[in-house]
Structure formats: C-alpha cells, structure tokens
Amino acid sequence: MKTKLFVLYGGKSVEHEISLKTALTVLQSIDRDKFDVYPVYITREGVWCHRGRLVERVTDPNDLTIPADPDLANPARSLGAVAAKLFGGGGRQVALPLLHGSNGEDGTVQGLLELLDIPYVGNGVLSSAVALDKAAAKAVLSHAGIAQAAYLAFRYADWQEEGEASIREIEASIGYPCYVKPASLGSSIGINRCEDRVQLLSAVEEAFSYDRKIVVEEEIAGREIQVAVRGNDRALASVPGEFIHDQAFFDYNEKYLAGRLAMSIPAELPEATANEIREQAIRAYQALDCAGLARVDFFLDRTGRLYLNEINTLPGFTAFSMYPIMWERTDGTRYSELIEKLIDYAFTRHADKQTIRYTRGDGQ
C-alpha cells in the first residue's frame, strides 16, 4: 500500500512565493509508485485548500494555487474540512510542511500536526519556534558556548520609548557597519546593512514593519559558509559550501530573482576548518533540539575564526538550492532520495513518541 503524503505549502507569510517554488520541485520529484501525493495549499489569508490526490504532473508554481471554497473561506472552517477529508482517512500517512517563515516554519503547523498525531517531516515545535526567532536562538546557542557575532535585540514597545538610548547602545557596542533584521523571518526579507545612523533608523523602521522584535548584529568580515545537517538523534553533516559573490550583503532579489549567485561545493577550506564547521553545525543542531533537517550558516573571518550566523530549519529546497546539492556532493544522495530519507526520519521520530507515557504508573 502506498504512503499518503500531504504536502503543505503557500502560507500566510511574506515567503509565500518561495514556498511555491519549493513545493513545485518536491512534487515533481516524488516517486508516485511509493506515494499518493495530496497537495494542500494555504492561501495568504491562511485558508486551507485541496483538490484531493495529485494525478497530473505540475510544471509551474502558479499551477499549485488552489481557489478557496466559498463555503469554507476562513482558516478555521477550511482547516476542519481538510483535517476531516484528508488527515482523517487512516492508513500510512505523513505530512511534509514546506512553509517558509511565519505561520509554518515557526512551530505553529508543527503543533497542529502533533495534535492530529500525524508524522511530519522536519523540526518539532520547540526547535522550529526557537530557530526562527533569531534572538531566542542566539540566546540558546550562546548558552551552549557557540561563538556568534555581537548582537542586541529590541522589542517595538521598548524602541518606541527608548529609541535614542537604544541607538547610542548600538553605536557603542555594535558599531558600523551593522545589520538590522526582523527577529522571525528568513530569505533576507527586511534585512539591511547600515553604515551610519541615517541608514540605521531607516532599517529599524523597515524591520519593525515585519516583526515586533528585531536583532542588530555586528558585521563579520570574511566568508559565509553553509553546511547541511540531517537526522534525528544521530545527526550527519554534509561537506561545507559557500556562495561566491562580491557584495557585502545579498538581499532577497539577489538570492531569488537575479540568478547571479554561484556555488562552491565543497567550499575551498583546509580540512581541519571543514571538520570544525561540521562539528560545530551538529553541536548547534543538537543545542536547538533539531530533527529531520536544517542548514547551519557560519561566518569565517580573515583570521580563520568561526562565528555561527543562524540555523534555518526549512532551508531552500529546490533542485538548485544549496541544501540538497551539498548532500549530493557529500554522499551522492539524489534529490528524490533525500526527500525519502527525511520522510523516514519523520516516521522514526513519530514511532519514538508513541513510547511516551501519558498516564501515571497506576493508570490514572
């Protein structure tokens, strides 16, 4: 009997389009002899939509948008209909959330799937929520003794009351150039590099339009190195890779629209440095209690010192993304095989959770 695979994509997030691109590649790559695939599209308003089992081959991200049923055009009613129609059907089933950013990569959908008792690919509630919140992740990683760039975090209400003092604190402890980022967002959306106070004020205003908490970081001059990690309790790290570019910072347009980024996989590094990066990546992965997959990003400064930049619990996952290519260059794992490995991790973790007791020893 085939496994039912529910592919969740879209979402109420500024990374909606990226999710569609990821979903397209996954849907084109899934082995239909092993899986019955059920695409589940979540609109920008949070409405859940489906057409049942996927039969045809999809060729364009726009083909993945599904009109909302007028009778179910709100999140609660539409979610109830999807849960009853698809998730409640029984049999061997697993969910594959491909929701980048808010309302999907932040533990919300993971919590829903936990309540529905459906195995799902990727990180759990805690690791998803903490990793997406840059300030929270930095605090955990700092406690684990992992080196990071100097940073400060600010909440909107505090900034409104103490903005001038906050600016002076940034200038005294972080300095210029610095980076301003929304705390809980990815794909370089809302991130700006600042070389003076005028740019800083503009960047802070933009970042607060995407989140109620922001992070300001010092710039680490050097190289940006990435490594792919997969697995549950015994995680594996890929060979490191890097994007070759001549800019201090590449934003959303450079990453996803310009098509000018070139990859170097494996990155040209001394063997000792490559091994250290892989070891640090696994340490960080375990510190955040990650499972399934993550991409861990580092800065390597001109003295050879490593600084962890961030952990991405749902990295770019098209056929041309760094994460799957790093695995292919590491051990020959092809894209479709990688998806199946991640699904296997999901079933293993779900089975492990079934051994947890929810009653006391006396049965109460």
Q: Is the pLDDT of residue 362 over 80?
A: no
pLDDT of residue 258: 47
Reply yes or no on whether 238 is catalytic: no
Mean pLDDT on 223-230: 97
In total, the chain counts a number of residues equal to 364
Q: What is the DSSP letter of 266?
A: S
Q: Pairing relation of β-strands 93-97 and 151-155?
A: unpaired
Q: Is the model more confident about 361 or about 179?
A: 179
The predicted-structure confidence for 136-162, as pLDDT tens digits, reads as follows 999 999 999 999 999 999 999 999 999
Q: Which residues are annotated as a binding site?
A: 297, 310, 312
pLDDT of residue 27: 96
pLDDT of residue 240: 97
Mean pLDDT on 83-108: 92
- CATH number of the 222-352 domain: 3.30.470.20
Q: Which residues are annotated as a binding site for Mg(2+)?
A: 297, 310, 312
CB atoms within 10 A of CB 81: 16
Q: What angle do CA 127, 132, 137 make, to 5 degrees?
A: 70
Mean pLDDT on 196-209: 96
Reply yes or no on whether 15 is catalytic: yes
Instruction: Choose, from 78, 102, 127, 321, the residue flagged as catalytic.
Output: 321
Task: Report the percent of the chain where pLDDT is more than 70.
Answer: 94
CB atoms within 10 A of CB 1: 6
pLDDT of residue 186: 64
Those residues whose C-beta lies under 8 Å from the C-beta of residue 200, and which sit 6 or more positions away, are 167, 170, 176, 178, 180, 194
Nearest alpha carbon to residue 316 among 114, 128, 105, 66: 105
Q: Is the pLDDT of residue 321 over 50?
A: yes
CB atoms within 10 A of CB 49: 20
Could you give the residue range(s) of every CATH 3.30.470.20 domain in the chain?
222-352
Could you give the residue range(s) of every CATH 3.30.1490.20 domain in the chain?
150-218
Q: Is the pLDDT of residue 217 over 70?
A: yes
Those residues whose C-beta lies under 8 Å from the C-beta of residue 129, and which sit 6 or more positions away, are 106, 107, 136
pLDDT of residue 290: 97
3-state helix, strand, coil in the chain (%, to 5): 40, 20, 40
* CA distance linking residue 348 with residue 352, whole number of Å: 6
* CA distance linking residue 258 with residue 243, whole number of Å: 14
Mean pLDDT of the chain: 92
* CA distance linking residue 30 with residue 32, whole number of Å: 6
CATH class held by domain 150-218: alpha beta
Instruction: Choose, from 102, 187, 218, 238, the residue flagged as catalytic.
Output: 187
Reply yes or no on whether 321 is catalytic: yes
Instruction: Choose, from 15, 105, 218, 219, the residue flagged as catalytic.
Output: 15
CATH, domain 3-120, list 3.40.50.20, 3.40.190.150, 3.40.50.300, 3.40.50.1010 = 3.40.50.20
Could you give the residue range(s) of every CATH 3.40.50.20 domain in the chain?
3-120
